Structure 1
Amino acid sequence: MTQKRYAKPLPPGSLGLPFVGETLHFLHSMKTNRPWEFFESRERKYGPVFKTHLFGSPTVVVNPPDGLKLIFTNHNKLVRGSWPSSIRKLVGERSLFFMEGDEAKRFRHILLAFLGPEALQRYVGRTHAMIQKHVEENWIAGGEIKAYQSVKEALFAVIYDLFLSLADEKEQQELLEPFRVVLHALIELPIDFPGTAFSKAMAGRREIMAKLDRMIEQRRLDLQSGKASAQQDLLSVLLVAKGEDGRGMTDEEIKQNIVMLVLGGHDTSSSSLAIAIKYIAENPSCYDELRKEHLEIAASKKAGEPLSIADVRRMKYTWRVVQEGMRFVPPTTGVIRRAIVDFEMDGYTVPQGWQLFGSMYQSNKKEKFFPEAESFKPDRFLGTGPVPYSYIPFGGGPRMCPGYELAKVQDCVFLHHIVTRFKWSLCDPDEIVQMAPLAAPLKGLPIKLTSNPI
């Protein structure tokens, strides 16, 4: 491919080695816990828009906010979704991740029957009860706890109750391990050779799918006999709900979308919540403001009364804390799209078929978007908040993450239960947060708990 084909030149940069391009450099930056260096080093050399080669495809890294606005507002005009082949194989072609056009609209309509703001009102009480139980059993004043591991266990239990009505801890653990293996191979090179991380993940996927097959078969019988309800959980909704065209999902589509939502709904929430806990410990004034908000909410409740969706919507400062944590440490590295036509961007040609990568690291720590960028300031999200398209933890446009509201509920409810009971400090203030592939404290975020009840 040469620049002579185009009216405008290709962006500057390097496509790296044949086939692998610069993917190994990118993966190395993540595994050494410095993913921003991949982007910053190339931006210094080539400018804010540059070409590279990632996950088997030539790629243009776009500049925020204009480049991100372009790809979010021109879906199915200039670009469409694109994912590394490893994710495509592990999640499945029939998940919402990979659907476009009317088909994506139909599936999104079905998923929002469970994930929409109104539907979530039915699930806040269950989320409250499960997180309360986990905190009461595992968070002990005067002791230490690995907060990230605890958060993962609690949110996994919540997800499997809300998605599959799966309350048995042994069955949950049997699914937790194969999901962990799949998660850690999502952005590996898709080499299905015995012993590789990707090969182990494919085996884990087969195990997950077999378990889901049995669950679907049993749930269909329970729905027919009246033992289960159509609104019981995500599985029931997906078995019963229809798209705008009157069609439902096949069993394979149900399984793949459950895998997609578990990976998106559990692991990204675990990451964002753990990072919030870390920064709350480092910022005492943040803890004080957060506790004030939650004490007011607790005082408005009767003894034993669970939180409601109205209570979650009152947790405005809480959500700003989570947002600021995701600015400091994004749960994921960015968003990927693929050009469906040749088009011009910032004076360069983006060829049809090339990927476009929008990185969180090109805006989240920059002073021009976030003054005093190295200071933890949740109130920067007050009012209109950041410059549009400079902050994209949940994506944007028609492909915005459908699990946004569920993530907000999980994070806010968990913080309510711990901030009304404890203060905490970091056991290792220098603990590294690694991308594996989502942001995760390397040692599990051990914290020291001090009693601070209402």
Structure 2
Amino acid sequence: MNSFITILLLIVPMIILLLTITKRRRSSSKRLPLPPGSLGLPIIGQSLSFFRAMKSNTAEKWLDQRTQKYGPISKLTLFGNPTVFISGLAANKFIFTSNSSGITSNQQSKSTRAILGDRNMLELVDHDHKRVRDALMLFLKPESLKDYVGKMDGGVREHLDMYWEGKQQVKVLPLMRRLTFDIICSLFCGFERGPKRDEFVDLFPKMVDGVWSVPINLPFTSYNRSLRATARMRKIVRNLIHEKRVQLENGASPHQDLITCLLSIRNDDNEELITEEEILQNVIFVMGAGYDTTSTLITFLVRLFANDPVVHASVLQEQEEIAKNNPSGESLTWEDLAKMKYTWRVAMETLRLFPPVFGGNRRALKDIEYDGHIIPKGWQIFWVAYKTHVDDRIFPEPTKFIPSRFENQASIPPYSFIPFGGGPRICPGMEYARIETLVAVHYLITRFSWKLCGDDSFSRTPLPVPSKGLPVQITSRKVW
């Protein structure tokens, strides 16, 4: 009996030890490593070298070198945050179906969050995101935008009369920014030309400059200038919200502009569905998005038409047919826009090669397993659009300009063409951008011809910006 107890006392600890070792091994085997790469210096990390690459238009090469060295997932420090860079079709799908993936739906960098706030669509998740998105879509959905085609048409014609007609040379990018901003001010805020709009024109570039900046708040930094511009813009928009609320109470139409539309939306208790702070932040957000992205697309279309006579001739033929069917010169209609199929395919191919939005950020809400690695809770996730846009398995001969790629969009894999995002996070202003682009191209190409004046290279700041604003020599054409 004593020998049995002795043996038992020897065996039991051994069994316990064996089970403990096995459990630890199993636990250890489940522990995935961090992605490869280096975080670099605190806060700064690789931000400065990335910004240099953006400015010299070598950011794609910069990220390609990372991918070649580390693979499709790697760690670094960007915009003051520890970051994981992911790329490819699987990464895009992961990013744009993020509601169930443990990451914020569109978490911003520290600098972007400080400038745009924490109640705009980029920050909101789940119910709050849907509530604000649905409210914005009441104004931005195609059925509503049909009513604003005439107003856009008038804005484009007025702009060309003021800034293009009678000129021998113009700089395209600043004028396209002015055009898109004037239309935004009218449709979103309801104020026309005057000191208020002029002040906005001055403030917006300063605000945008700080969005991708290193968040160091010193007087000489773009981040500091952006914060000061944002503070002034918020004051102007907040005063505007108060004015619109009074107008609405006095019987103004809820469809006169975006701010009034958002103020008019009520919940079941007849309370405003969107808070004043949410209206303020989201109006500034959509103004900023529409101001820069659409103006960049139109600018690159002007650049394309100057460099590619075949595409130019085909777009001109399509637009002249529409103009000839409108001899009285009335505003373009929704039906006219539907006929601009080739023009919009050209625009989409331009977006594939030169996406205005280079990439974006998310943030992990918990430890996430992705591609055999751990993305730690709180870390930033950085994605880019170009990787799938130039993937020859998706777009054969990706460096060639082939608008016919988009004749059958159903053949393009989901989450591979993402200039407007994808899935539940697709840009709510996509249809607005399409209408504005088509209206602008129609009048530009039927009223003027042009040729480039010198260099047409560009850099990213972070949007693609042509050298010297893309100066062109212009000649007036026959107006049908």
Q: TM-score, structure 1 length as denominator?
A: 0.93
Partner of residue 424 from structure 2, selected from 398, 401, 410: 398
Q: Which residue pairs with 2:262 in the alignment?
A: 238
Equivalent residues in 2 for 1:360-375, closer than 5 Å? 360-375=385-400
Superposition deviation, residue 302 in structure 1:
5.3
Whole-Å separation in 2 of the counterparts to 1:26 and 1:48: 17
CA distance in 1, matches of 2:293, 2:320: 27
Indicate if the aligned counterparts of 1:363 and 1:369 stay in contact, CA closer than 8 A.
yes
| Bigger fraction of residues in helix | 2
Instruction: Provide the rounded CA distance (Å) in 1 between the counterparts of 2:368 and 2:98.
Output: 11
In structure 2, which of residues 292, 311, 321 is the aligned counterpart of residue 286 of structure 1? 311
- Could you tell me which of 384, 392, 408 is aligned with 2:434? 408
Alignment partner of 1:155 out of 161, 175, 180: 180
Q: Is the 8 A contact 2:184 2:290 kept in 1?
A: yes
What are the superposed Cα offsets for residues 59-84 of structure 1, whole Å, 9 maximum, x if unpaired?
A: 22223111111221232433222111
CA drift of 1:151 comes to 0.8
| SS, match of residue 331 in structure 1 | coil
Residue 356 of structure 1, aligned match among 381, 387, 398: 381
**1:435-446 paired onto structure 2 within 5 Å:** 435-446=460-471
Stretch of structure 1 that moved more, 264-273 or 134-143: 134-143
User: Please, which of 36, 39, 51 is the counterpart of residue 12 of structure 1?
Assistant: 36
Q: Assess if the C-alpha contact under 8 Å between 1:161 and 1:233 holds in 2.
A: yes
Residue type at the aligned position of 2:292: D
The amino acid that maps onto 1:216 is: I
Name stretches of at least 5 consecutive residues in structure 1 with no aligned partner: none
Radius of gyration: which is bigger?
2
Are positions 1:382 and 2:435 aligned together? no
Q: Which residue of 2 aligns with 1:273?
A: 298
Q: What is the letter of the counterpart of residue 332 of structure 2? A: L
Q: CA deviation at 1:422?
A: 2.1
Aligned to 2:20: none
What amino acid is the match of 1:29? Answer: A
Query: Displacement, 1:243?
Result: 5.7
State the match for 1:122 in structure 2: 147
| C-alpha separation in 2, matches of 1:86 and 1:166 | 29
Q: Which of 309, 324, 335 is equivalent to 2:360?
A: 335
What is the aligned partner in structure 2 of residue 52 from structure 1? Answer: 76
Partner of 2:90: 66
Assess, with a 3 A threshold, how the Cα gap between structure 1 residues 16 and 230 changes in structure 2: closer, same or farther. same
Q: Which residue is 2:18 aligned to?
A: none
Cα deviation 1:77-113 (Å, max 9, x = unaligned):
3322211111111111121221111111111111111
Whole-Å separation in 1 of the counterparts to 2:241 and 2:138: 18
Q: Which amino acid aligns with 2:77?
A: H
User: Could you tell which deviates more after superposition, 244-253 or 434-443?
Assistant: 244-253
Relative to structure 2, which stretch is displaced further, 243-252 or 45-54?
Answer: 243-252
Which residues in structure 2 correspond to 1:93-112 (within 5 Å)? 93-112=118-137
Q: Which amino acid aligns with 1:183?
A: V
The 8 Å contact of residues 281 and 425 in structure 1, kept in 2 or not, is answered as yes
Out of 160, 165, 178, the position equivalent to 1:135 is 160
2:227 counterpart of 1:194: no
Cα 1:222–1:14 change in 2 (3 A) is: same
Matched residue, 1:308: 333
Could you list the structure 1 runs, at least 4 aligned residues long, displaced by more than 6 angstroms after superposition: none
Structure 1 residue corresponding to 2:450, chosen from 424, 429, 438: 424
Distance, in Å, in 2 between the alignment partners of 1:395 and 1:243 is: 29
Whether the 8 Å contact between 1:337 and 1:356 is mirrored in structure 2 is yes
Matched-pair contact (CA < 8 Å) for 2:248–2:264: no
Q: Flag the 1:134–1:5 CA change in 2: closer, same or farther, 3 A.
A: farther
Corresponding position of 1:41: 65
Report how many residues are paired: 450
Q: Is the 8 A contact 2:47 2:77 kept in 1?
A: yes
CA distance, structure 1, for counterparts of residue 233 and residue 184 of structure 2: 15
Quick one: percent identity of the two aligned structures? 35
Q: How far apart, in 2, do the equivalents of 1:304 and 1:124 lie? A: 15
TM-score, structure 2 normalization: 0.88
Structure 2: distance between partners of 1:302 and 1:426 = 31
Could you tell which deviates more after superposition, 171-180 or 56-65?
56-65
Single out whichever of 443-452 and 394-403 deviates more from structure 2: 443-452
Call closer, same or farther: CA 1:253–1:5 in 2, change over 3 Å.
farther
RCO (CA 8 Å, sep 6+): is it higher in 1 or 2?
1
Q: Cα distance, 1:444 vs. partner?
A: 0.8
CA RMSD between the two structures: 2.1
1:31 partnered with 2:31: no
Retained in 2: the 8 A contact 1:120–1:309? no
Alignment of 1:202-241 (within 5 A): 202-226=227-251, 228-241=252-265
Aligned equivalents of 1:245 and 1:320: distance in 2?
45
Q: Structure 2: where are the runs of 5+ without partners?
A: 1-26
Deviation string 1:303-337 (CA, Å, 9 cap, x unpaired) is 13211223223222111111111222221221322
Distance change (3 Å), C-alpha of 1:74 and 1:180 = closer
Cα distance change, pair 57–254 in 1 and its aligned pair in 2 (3 A): same
Question: Is the counterpart of residue 83 in structure 1 residue 98 in structure 2?
Answer: no
The amino acid of 1:32's aligned partner reads: S
